[in-house]
């Protein structure tokens, strides 16, 4: 029976697998330049420059993101056929070019195209490459590996928006986007290329382990999309992206609505990141011991609570509570989504399968700003919308519980 070596502790695990863990971490870290929490820092300036309302810019943002989602299933499946380092050599420089275009766009059409590229290459492909490689290269310790790789998102959330804000305040928005492009080319490209230039062999036949790697039949993408349970799972998978993007996109609106200081969201991201880190690592341990399916019935409950708290509003300290709840759900879901698909559908066609799920998540993040912004323009306040989103999470939690029961029986 083929088995995988299991390191004794986290320190030895990281030491033995440093290049692949660090490479995945760097990819998710630099994906920040295509994430809403980073792009939203420039929205006010773009709205002023092009004379757009919340709803108008939200719809443009939605269209650009939907376009990237439509391209992801085609481009994303390339990771099944093209070496990881060669994918990095293309994606990272292209993302740097998109950052420059976003900072120096002189027309609305160029700006929308820049956002399209940022969402496709940053939010989409950078994360997709990291999680697909990690899911394929690790078996018995997949949960632990994924939990470490996805911490790059939290590292980016905690540092990049703050640094960008400082640069923008001192030198202007264009300087901030220029620094982003420079970091991608000077730091991100060479390091990620080096890290992924040597693929990891997940099996060690001569190693000793108390947990054999469970072999799962590799489903083809066309089989997966015909599986009803896949679409049930998406009702839960899409919720964190939709709701989180909505919260971050409307941060200025919520701050004004509640009388919160403008810098509150930037500082509260620290609470979000710390909580997410702790919960992601704990979830990784749970996944390795009990499987990703065991997490399904629980990961949306904190997200539901965060929506209900935002619906009630309150003093500035409320936002820190929201970020802690959001961090619990983010930490669980980030590790869960990196481990779930290879656990139930195998690894041979993982790139093609994940491309569909990532595309769906991108669609959800696109729909969040567009839909909620339009509703705001129509007089439906965001707190009321958050109330309904909280109830949706509760309904999706029930669906995840049923899906978990079905998957255990199927295995």
Residue 240 within a domain: yes
Please state, rounded to an integer, the average pLDDT across all residues of the chain: 85
CATH of the domain at 87: 1.20.1250.20
Residue 122 within a domain: yes
Residue 366 within a domain: yes
Query: CA torsion sign, 364 to 366 to 371 to 373?
Result: positive
166: containing domain: 10-202+216-410
76-119 residue pLDDT tens: 888 888 888 999 999 999 999 999 999 999 999 999 999 999 99
Residue 209 within a domain: no
What's the pLDDT score for residue 54? 72
Contact 199, 84 (CB under 8 A): yes
Residue 210 within a domain: no
Residue 101 within a domain: yes
- Average pLDDT of span 318-347: 86
Residue 204: band (very low, low, confident or very high) from pLDDT cuts 50, 70, 90: very low
What's the pLDDT score for residue 110? 94
- Provide the whole-model pTM: 0.78
Please determine, for residue 352, whether its predicted confidence score (pLDDT) is greater than 90: no
**Residue located via tokens 């669906």:** 399
Contact 152, 28 (CB under 8 A): yes
Please determine, for residue 368, whether its predicted confidence score (pLDDT) is greater than 90: no
Query: CA torsion sign, 190 to 142 to 303 to 372?
Result: positive
Percent of the chain with pLDDT over 70: 94
Residue 1 within a domain: no
143-190 residue pLDDT tens: 888 889 988 987 887 788 888 989 988 898 999 999 999 999 999 999
DSSP state letter for 186: I
- Helices H / strands E in the chain, number of each: 20, 0
Give the CA distances from residue 401 to residues 290, 296, 309, in Å, rounded to whole numbers and listed in that order: 15, 7, 24
Residue 266: band (very low, low, confident or very high) from pLDDT cuts 50, 70, 90: confident
Contact 271, 323 (CB under 8 A): yes
State the total domains in the chain. Answer: 1
What's the pLDDT score for residue 214? 53
Please determine, for residue 217, whether its predicted confidence score (pLDDT) is greater than 80: no
**Residue located via tokens 């998406």:** 234
């Amino acid at each position: 029976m083929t088995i995988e070596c299991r390191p004794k502790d986290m320190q030895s695990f990281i030491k033995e697998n440093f290049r692949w863990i660090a490479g995945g971490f760097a990819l998710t870290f630099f994906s920040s330049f295509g994430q809403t929490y980073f792009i939203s820092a420039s929205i006010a300036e773009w709205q002023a420059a092009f004379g757009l309302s919340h709803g108008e810019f939200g719809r443009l943002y939605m269209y650009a993101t939907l376009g990237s989602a439509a391209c992801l299933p085609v481009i994303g499946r390339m990771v099944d056929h093209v070496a990881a380092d060669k994918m990095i050599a293309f994606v990272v420089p292209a993302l740097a070019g998109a950052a420059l275009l976003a900072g120096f766009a002189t027309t609305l059409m160029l700006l929308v195209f820049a956002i399209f590229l940022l969402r496709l290459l940053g939010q989409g492909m950078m994360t997709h490459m990291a999680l697909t490689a990690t899911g394929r290269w690790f078996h018995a310790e997949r949960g632990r590996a994924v939990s470490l790789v996805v911490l790059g998102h939290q590292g980016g959330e905690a540092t990049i928006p703050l640094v960008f804000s400082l640069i923008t305040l001192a030198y202007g928005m264009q300087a901030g986007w220029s620094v982003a492009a420079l970091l991608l080319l000077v730091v991100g490209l060479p390091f990620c290329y080096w890290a992924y230039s040597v693929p990891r062999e997940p099996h060690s036949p001569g190693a000793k382990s108390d947990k054999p790697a469970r072999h799962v039949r590799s489903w083809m993408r066309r089989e997966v999309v015909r599986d009803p349970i896949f679409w049930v799972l998406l009702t839960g998978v899409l919720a964190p992206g939709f709701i989180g993007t909505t919260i971050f996109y409307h941060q200025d609106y919520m701050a004004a609505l509640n009388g919160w200081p403008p810098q509150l969201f930037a500082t509260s991201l620290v609470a979000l990141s710390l909580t997410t880190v702790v919960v992601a690592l704990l979830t990784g341990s749970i996944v390795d011991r009990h499987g990703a399916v065991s997490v399904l019935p629980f990961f949306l409950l904190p997200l539901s609570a965060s929506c209900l708290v935002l619906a009630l509003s309150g003093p500035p300290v409320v936002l820190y509570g929201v970020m802690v709840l959001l961090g619990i759900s983010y930490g669980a879901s980030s590790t869960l989504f990196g481990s779930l698909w290879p656990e139930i559908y195998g690894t041979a066609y993982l790139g093609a399968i994940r491309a569909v799920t990532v595309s769906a998540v991108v669609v959800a993040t696109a729909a969040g700003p567009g839909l909620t912004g339009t509703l705001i323009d129509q007089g439906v306040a965001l707190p009321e919308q958050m109330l309904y989103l909280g109830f949706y999470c509760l309904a999706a939690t029930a669906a995840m519980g049923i899906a978990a029961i079905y998957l255990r029986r199927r295995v």
